Chain A
Amino acid sequence: DAKTTQPTSMDCAEGRAANLPCNHSTISGNEYVYWYRQIHSQGPQYIIHGLKNNETNEMASLIITEDRKSSTLILPHATLRDTAVYYCIVRFPSNDYKLSFGAGTTVTVRA
């Protein structure tokens, strides 16, 4: 069962930052927040994960609120190739082997 809530869809202008919100109000202290994306007809692509601290890698930044009840994925300079479904998932890896995907957010980057 998905433990997250994400907007169904959002648009973003090419070259601008895309901020994708995710609510996970029932997250427990040991659960990580993972972000994946899926471009049409491809397998899900891992983006980033975090536990308590904000994280940044070459693809994106993950901002987790202090109470850990929500997070935001930031794509700093969206391109047309970032058009995809983005999934926010919470999971305690020591207890739960599977990833539970919800409906995700369909992000459309427009030129």
Chain B
Amino acid sequence: SQTIHQWPATLVQPVGSPLSLECTVEGTSNPNLYWYRQAAGRGLQLLFYSVGIGQISSEVPQNLSASRPQDRQFILSSKKLLLSDSGFYLCAWTASGYEQYFGPGTRLTVT
């Protein structure tokens, strides 16, 4: 069966520090991968998606970037965090292109 992992589970970082969040999927090949952010009291916002290694699409301009160095690995990064980057970051995958399955998420607080 397929599983999706994210780490770390929680993170507290100062403004201006770098960020690296990792997501890996097991049990499937060539999944579509997604990064979402959920700010407090708000809906899920798509940040990036990837249909293959090295292929990244960005949905909104922001302080973040994404990379897909391997088929089942998706990384979210920032060189300098802003207060507004705080939120719940969720990685998701799909094989069919339709139903998406989410990882456990990383709760980021920028102080």
Do A and B come together as binding partners?
no
- A-to-B contact residues, CB < 8 Å: none
- B-to-A contact residues, CB < 8 Å: none
